Chain A
Amino acid sequence: DIQLTQSPSFLSASVGDRVTITCRASQDISNSLAWYQRKPGTAPKLLIYPASTLKGGVPSRFSGSGSGAEFTLTISSLQPEDFATYFCQQLHVYVSFGPGTKVEIK
């Protein structure tokens, strides 16, 4: 099974900050990586797949980059509604998820 790690696991940031989250795969997964946002009590929301393609309706302050085994999710200017947990998913061989990064208000 392909393992995913994320860093940091937790970050504290202010509205307007630029935030970057990294997801690393245990092997080359090409660009078969998705990013989700999850708020407490709600279903995950798909933000980006594959790797750098923003899904329809997702604000342009979100962006994804990377290929192979290292990927990043960037929020260019953090908004109040962006405080949530973000996790990555690889879709190269079956499925696995990263452990998540919780973004909290500083």
Chain B
Amino acid sequence: QVHLVESGGGVVQPGGSLRLSCAASGFTFSTYAMHWVRQAPAKGLEWLAVISYDGTLDYCADSVKGRFTISRDNSKNTLYLQMNSLRTEDTAVYSCAKPRVGTWDSHGWDFDLWGRGTLVTVSS
């Protein structure tokens, strides 16, 4: 069974930090670029970041650039999202997603596997 399972969400004060994890199973994790997305309450999906299969390339959306960092540990089949300087507007369900194609080519980044997500609440 192919699965993505996120963890690490919770309640954090504005300005605080959290590290999210995404555990992958059922596919060769180390051959796929991986992504983080989020969905705030009553809002649409927002794409956040991507990292290449080997971790040498990464890119974050402007909305989180400089505050969020994506990383991975292929020995543990795990994707991470380090979130710093959190704001109330970062409150959302955070999910990881696997694209159809593993290469560093956005044209192959339609998603065929999504995690259920972990809730991050930024509130004082």
Residues of A within 8 A of B107 (CB): 32, 50, 91-92
Residues of A within 8 A of B113 (CB): 43
In the complex, A71 has a CB within 8 A of chain B: no
Residues 34 to 86 of chain B near chain A (Cβ within 8 Å): 35, 37, 43-47, 50, 59, 61-62
In the complex, A34 has a CB within 8 A of chain B: yes
Known: A44-B114, A46-B110, A93-B106. A1 touches B61 (CB 8 A): yes
Q: Number of A-B pairs whose CB atoms are under 8 Å?
A: 51
Q: Considering the chains assembled together, what is the distance between the CA atoms of A91 and B104 in angstroms?
A: 12
In the complex, A105 has a CB within 8 A of chain B: no
Q: Considering the chains assembled together, what is the distance between the CA atoms of A64 and B65 in angstroms?
A: 33
How many interface residues does chain A have, given as a range?
A: 20 to 34
Residue on B nearest A46 in the bound complex, by CB: B110
Contact call A95/B47, Cβ cutoff below 8 A: yes
Q: How far is the CB of B40 from chain A (nearest CB, A)?
A: 11
Residues of B within 8 A of A94 (CB): 47, 50, 59, 61, 106, 109
A/B interface sample: 21 pairs, CB < 8 A: A1-B62, A34-B110, A43-B113, A43-B114, A43-B116, A44-B111, A44-B114, A49-B110, A91-B107, A91-B109, A92-B106, A92-B107, A93-B106, A95-B109, A96-B47, A97-B37, A97-B44, A99-B43, A99-B44, A100-B44, A100-B45
Interface set of A (CB-CB < 8 Å, partner B): 1, 32, 34, 43-44, 46, 49-50, 87, 89, 91-100
